[in-house]
Amino acid sequence: MPFHGEINAICWARKLPGDFSEIVKMIELEGNIVALNHNELFKLQLSEQGVLAREILLNDLEMLEGYGASPLLNLIKCYERDNAYAFFPTDVYSFHVDRSPIPIDTFLCTYIGASTEILPNSQAIQKVLVPEIRDELKKLYRGLDEEFESFLSEHFFDLHYLPIPEARPISLGLGHLWKLAVDHPKSQVFPCLHRAPKEKNGQNRLLMIC
């Protein structure tokens, strides 16, 4: 299904059976993120409900691979925070868009834990256009004026957005497979604004993304 008009996020709504929490509990998480592959999933000794959940994960991986994508199944405690610029964090907890030099889409599904949030483009402003933030970036930049925009792009500042006061983020929920528009030269729609959620205390996320 193609994007068109103002539609830059499409959902395959699903109510998934199985116990995904059983899989999460059986994976030893060293560090903040671990990627799970087919072999690791097959090795798990699971109950009937756990087996159902594993079959869904494997089917989703194979489906996306068959489509030509390169899905990653990640168990996430948290993402790394960006502390380089206190006034302008560029980590995934900030509303941002994905950019690619080729026509692709972002696919993702949260199976357990806090889910990704998206935001209508009309409810945010590009951070580099906010006068106060732009002034701080100009203080940080020490090159030629005509190369300032290139500086913003090279450091990914132009990918991040600030919600307006009335903004209402939309949670993508659990089990639903989403396709989000990416910023690329042939895109016919605005890229989809999204961010990683703040993790729930003591609960890891199981996320497929590509």
The pLDDT tens digits for 23-39 are 999 998 888 999 999 99
**Token pair of 26, please?**
């059986």
**How much is the average pLDDT of 165-186?**
96
In a domain, 4, yes or no: no
In a domain, 203, yes or no: yes
Residue range 93-122, pLDDT digits in tens? 999 999 999 989 999 999 999 999 999 999
**How much is the average pLDDT of 171-175?**
97
Q: Tell me what pLDDT residue 200 has.
A: 78
C-alpha–C-alpha distance, residues 177 and 169, integer Å: 18
In a domain, 201, yes or no: yes
Q: Per-residue DSSP letters for 71-126?
A: -EEEEES-PPP--S-TT---STTS-B--B-SS--EEEEEEEESS--EEE-GGGEEE
Question: Which pLDDT band, with edges at 50, 70 and 90, does 86 fall under?
Answer: low
In a domain, 178, yes or no: yes
Q: Reduce the DSSP state of residue 39 to 3 states and report it.
A: helix
| Structural domain for 50, as ranges | 9-209
In a domain, 89, yes or no: yes
In a domain, 183, yes or no: yes
**Token pair of 150, please?**
């290139």
In a domain, 2, yes or no: no
> Which residues make beta-bridge pairs with 130?
none
**Count of the separate structural domains present in the chain:** 1
